Structure 1
Amino acid sequence: MRILFIIIGICCAISAFAQDGNDSVRINQLFNFDWKFKAGEISNAEDPKLDDRDWRKLDLPHDFQFEQPWDKSASRGRGFKAMGAGWYRKTFNADAAWKGKRVLLDFEGIMLTGNVWLNGRKIGGTDYGYLGFELDITDIIRYDTVNCVAVRASTGEMGNSRWYTGGGLFRDVHLIVKDKISIARHGVFITTPSISSQNAVVNVQVE
């Protein structure tokens, strides 16, 4: 019962902090829709001015390797699919209400490796597709014109695999807007180092 009271107290404290002021609103927007895709290596695909009208329109999640033809010479660990690369692009407008907040892009996974650009500037990436990552775009986002996100995904840089991995933006992407002082991604760590039938100790660490 004491554990329940402690958890309720923590939740109330977090709720009160989040509601301190009418502007303290967190936005977590699913960013999966209206992307464009093209397979292969594309020169200057990160350039916002690139003409991508002939690119394929799609929604995420998407696995470009699954769509490739079977290849007997390819690795069985990759499902007999040839390794390669693909590019994704998405444009969006920023809301003026986001000014003064932190604006982030959260990628749950890019298989197998990936790099991300915003408005032609490289902002980050990953060398391991099973781990998501967050990119702070607060100082790069534009409020006076359209923004362009470009992502290069590749299955070829990291060698073989023990199973079929797929390739591309195969998990969800989110656009997050939150206060400058806020809880970090996966920033809450809770342990119960001591538990008995009468009581328990709960440690909460928040970044």
Structure 2
Amino acid sequence: MCSTGFVRSLGFALLPLAVCCIVANVLLFFPGGTTQYLQEGKLSRLVWFMMGIGGGGALMFLPAGVFISLGKCTGCCWNESVVMCGSVTAALVGLAGSGYCFVISAMAMLEGPQCDTGLGWSYPFANEGGRYLFEQETWSNCSYPVSIVEWNVTLLSILLGLSGLEFIICFLQVINGLVTAVCRPCCYKQDYTLNA
């Protein structure tokens, strides 16, 4: 059985996830759909780490491209093993990118947004360890940007979910590629000796 078809499907699954990560991260730069806070430099600091644009987005195009470009089975088990080893390397890059996106998004979620509390701009939820997520009545402490807590929580949750899926897909390919690269030649050799 040829495993390259499975790998290609993983690549096609990564593409929309990467695009959605980029879109979610770009939206974090425009709270409430306005450019005002970007121009004033009043965005949360972790937004500038570009976890969705770089880690969960652009970096994912490498493994997706490698997975999709895998050809059909050539009939030579050694060629397939070499190709699978290359796809494992690409999958490791994907693991790093999705892991980066997940960790930075989680840190941003725990820290909470920068906002105007009426006493000036600050991070009112920064030292709570994410407790504010379960105390929605405290969200009104942020006056401006309007609904900034909901904006950040929604987009960061999307980034966490998407990067988690990307991580799982890349991890599946690491396992698939290693099993194929290591065991496939042995299986072919055994089949050959049985057929002889």
TM-score category, normalised to shorter length: under 0.3
Question: What TM-score do the two structures reach when normalised by structure 2?
Answer: 0.24
**What is the TM-score of this pair, normalised by structure 1?**
0.23
1 or 2, which has the higher strand percentage? 1
